[in-house]
Amino acid sequence: MGNVDYDYPRSGMNMNNVNESHVHVQHRVEIPPPQPFLKSMKYAMKETFFPDDPLRKFKNQPASKKLVLGFQYLFPIFEWAPNYTFQFLKSDIIAGITIASLAIPQGISYAKLANLPPILGLYSSFIPPLIYAMMGSSRDLAVGTVAVGSLLMGSMLATEVNPNQNPSLYLHLAFTATFFAGVLQASLGFFRLGLIVDFLSHAAIVGFMSGAATVVCLQQLKPMLGLEHFTHGADLISVMRSVFTQVHQWRWESAVLGCVFIFFLLVTRYFSKRQPKFFWVSAMTPLASVILGSLLVYFTHAENHGVQVIGELKKGLNPISVTDLVFVSPYMTTSIKTGVIVGIIALAEGIAVGRSFAMFKNYHIDGNKEMIAIGTMNIVGSFTSCYLTTGPFSRSAVNYNAGCKTAASNIVMAIAVMLTLLFLTPLFYYTPLVVLAAIIVSAMLGLIDYEAAIHLWKIDKFDFVVCVSAYFGVVFGSVQIGLVIAIVVSVLRLLLFIARPRTSVLGNIPNSTIYRNIEHYPNSNRVSGILILKIDAPIYFANASYLRERISRWIDEEEDRIKATGETSLKYIILDMSAVGNIDTSGISMLEEIKKISERREQQLVLVNPGSEVMKKLNKSHFQKDMGGNWIYLTVEEAVRACNFVLHGCKTNPKRDESEGWNNV
């Protein structure tokens, strides 16, 4: 029917007046030309794994140029370094020194959070930034340890090995988990499997990160109250039980000192937000807090009055730890599990942060290249006494605000940390743990994004449920439970989108040939004797049964409405398939069933604008032939016009015209 060269008269038009003036070329719904299997497979693989076409700049280049481009692709530093200027250097030095002032106290704090020696926080801010500066594509990402990753690693490893009873084995497991995290991250990038990270939706990440930040803050009650013993559990109930069963051991000195420094850190952050040109104030405050706290303890001997201090930090650069990796059972299983989970979380955070700042500066970063860079720096880090690193938001935001121009700011930061390791570590002896706790709490409060949760509630209630589920899973269960809930609920929503696609009834907008959803456009009119339905998703085995039942229900509801209003009986079911990008054999079977149901009710099924893949499969399955080839149209307007022609122009024997095709009209 879609192949007939007629402009079908509208309803009410006198058939005797049909003449050549109404005849025009009717566009056909073409069957796409057949493609070789290998070519189709190549195209599908390219769209799946190489949607950004990373090899396009290698096309039509001589071999020597391809070699240079390949080297620059793996090591972007050789791409931007030749164009590096003195102005860039000045900006990067300022930014690097600024983030170093934040990285040093944060590194020490987060290492304690992971139940690791504080010096590892400095080690992890030295080697990994150098690797990233060579391999990373983001100009703004500042590399270092993160609170959530540290807490997650600490809580997972502590279930297998007690860090107080066997600190050496615990340390080696941390290196091994970091190694496996790096292997996973680099593999995802190398095999172009970054889409796996996309299964963590924005709502799930907001809830998970907020929950993890809440748990991290709760964990700081130990140093804030000067407690010697504390629960290894990370959930709210365990922490509260541990705190309130030791009321007689609370130290008011630590609590007062901690509250003062938290207030100091929050006030300076608020000031920097209100006055962006003074961003360096909040960036320098953590280091200033460490210095002030150390001086206060040194001159008042507060360590003798219940204020716990860091103690001695080992002097010197990172020792080699490649021989410390543990590849024996049962610890290897724990390391792999921990590495996979913390690796995915670190990857999601690092790429999200990098993309955010790239958007602000209007440049592009390659997600898969970032995975390789982050994975490589964690692999090398595990060989050099470092634990999990990525691109934390707080440090990257300071780097961005400090005016960094390239990844060289990470090199400057690494040099500053190196000098600290070589000459300044003895100065941290009197640093109170409560100051480190205050630094962590102030940083984590910024991650509890209640404004984002409110925004989700306003925009999408289901996203809000995903967010809240992840949050409460972390706070009342554990970080692992929260992560599982975040992933499961996100995947569940994806499956719901696939298994329960939207269908809608279309109506004609008055004085136009446009057909839209009657719920969206209440002024649109139904077409007498015709039901127009739109399917808004590909048709697969997961939703074929639902669509069959839903379409049947639409037909039943339309017939009930017609009986109630006394309108013309339903004769045509038009399916607008413009949004159906693909279909499988279950979907084709569903269409065949709908066609049979329609025929039993003396109704005709009509398809509109099926895509190339759909037409190809309908043709191969002979469904198009079963339709007579006459009931497939390019637009809803053409389909409605043709149906109206039969309803109002050929009432004497419409079935005859339908069966014989329109070439005889």
Q: Give a three-class secondary structure readout of 260-326.
A: HHHHHHHHHHHHHHHCHHHHHHHHHHHHHHHHHHHHHHHHHCHHHHCCCECCCCCCCCCCCCHHHCC
CA atoms within 13 A on the CB side of 659: 6
CA atoms within 13 A on the CB side of 144: 35
Sign of the alpha-carbon dihedral angle for 421, 427, 430, 432: negative
pLDDT of residue 325: 94
Contact 124, 144 (CB under 8 A): yes
pLDDT of residue 301: 85
Mark which of 494, 522, 548 sits at the end of a domain. Answer: 494
pLDDT of residue 525: 92
Contact 54, 73 (CB under 8 A): yes
Separation between Cα atoms, residue 342 and residue 151, nearest integer Å: 10
pLDDT of residue 26: 58
Predicted TM-score of the model (pTM): 0.77
pLDDT of residue 489: 84
Question: What CATH number corresponds to the domain at position 511?
Answer: 3.30.750.24
396 and 310 within one domain: yes
pLDDT of residue 225: 85
555 and 418 within one domain: no
Q: What are the average pLDDT values for consecutive 10-residue runs of the chain, which has 665 residues?
A: 40 40 57 80 76 75 84 88 91 90 87 91 95 92 90 88 90 96 93 73 84 86 82 80 86 86 90 82 85 89 79 89 90 93 88 83 84 95 95 84 89 94 90 87 83 92 90 86 83 87 93 92 92 94 94 92 86 93 93 92 92 89 77 91 81 44 39
490 and 519 within one domain: no
Residue 481: domain span: 80-494
**Pairing mode, if any, of strands 530-535 and 572-576?**
parallel
539 and 453 within one domain: no
388 and 478 within one domain: yes
The 3-state DSSP class for residue 627 equals coil
Specify the number of domains making up the chain.
Answer: 2
The 3-state DSSP class for residue 506 equals strand
List phi, psi (to 5°) of 209. Answer: -65, -40
Give domain status of residue 172, yes or no. yes
540 and 393 within one domain: no
What b/e sequence results for 409-426 when a residue is b if at least 16 CB atoms lie within 10 Å of its CB, and e otherwise? bbbbbbbbbbebbeeebe
528 and 445 within one domain: no
Give domain status of residue 244, yes or no. yes
Name the amino acid, one letter, at 98: T
pLDDT of residue 226: 80
525 and 487 within one domain: no
Mark which of 494, 514, 530 sits at the end of a domain. Answer: 494
246 and 231 within one domain: yes
Residues ≥6 apart with Cβ < 8 Å to 48: none
Mark which of 467, 494, 521 sits at the end of a domain. Answer: 494
530 and 468 within one domain: no
Give domain status of residue 128, yes or no. yes
Separation between Cα atoms, residue 15 and residue 323, nearest integer Å: 91
308 and 434 within one domain: yes
Give domain status of residue 85, yes or no. yes
Residues ≥6 apart with Cβ < 8 Å to 62: none
pLDDT of residue 622: 85
Give domain status of residue 256, yes or no. yes
Give domain status of residue 541, yes or no. yes
Give domain status of residue 257, yes or no. yes
Max Cα separation, the chain? 109
566 and 480 within one domain: no
The 3-state DSSP class for residue 570 equals coil
Residues ≥6 apart with Cβ < 8 Å to 433: 112, 223, 308, 309, 310
Give domain status of residue 34, yes or no. no
